[in-house]
Amino acid sequence: MKPTSIPDRQPSLSTDALPANVDPVATDVLLYLRDKLPGYTFQLDLDTEFVRELLDDFPDVDVLEEIKTFRWYYDRELGKKNHRAAIRRWMANSKPRHRC
């Protein structure tokens, strides 16, 4: 008998709709917000500026990893709160990454 497996969820990871002048780190964060954060209302123009601001304001924080941690901490219970404010607050409370 074959083991049952969970099918992979393969969201569209196309970068076609993203602005061309966005750096690779910001692109990764934008794609994660768009495709992997349940309940998040993605708005390209607003989120492009939001992610740029996060990366500028929190240079010692791994923004993508913190957003992943935020996602799993709330585990699909984001509700109707202001997601961007909640993510920004999460970043402000995060510990800076150690650089060698």
Residue 52, pLDDT score: 96
Q: Is the dihedral of CA 77, 36, 20, 64 positive or negative?
A: positive
Would you say residue 96 has pLDDT above 80? no
pTM score, two decimals?
A: 0.75
Question: Would you call 55 helix, strand, or coil by DSSP?
Answer: helix
- 4-56 pLDDT, tens digit per residue, is 544 444 344 455 666 677 789 999 999 999 999 888 899 999 999 999 999 99
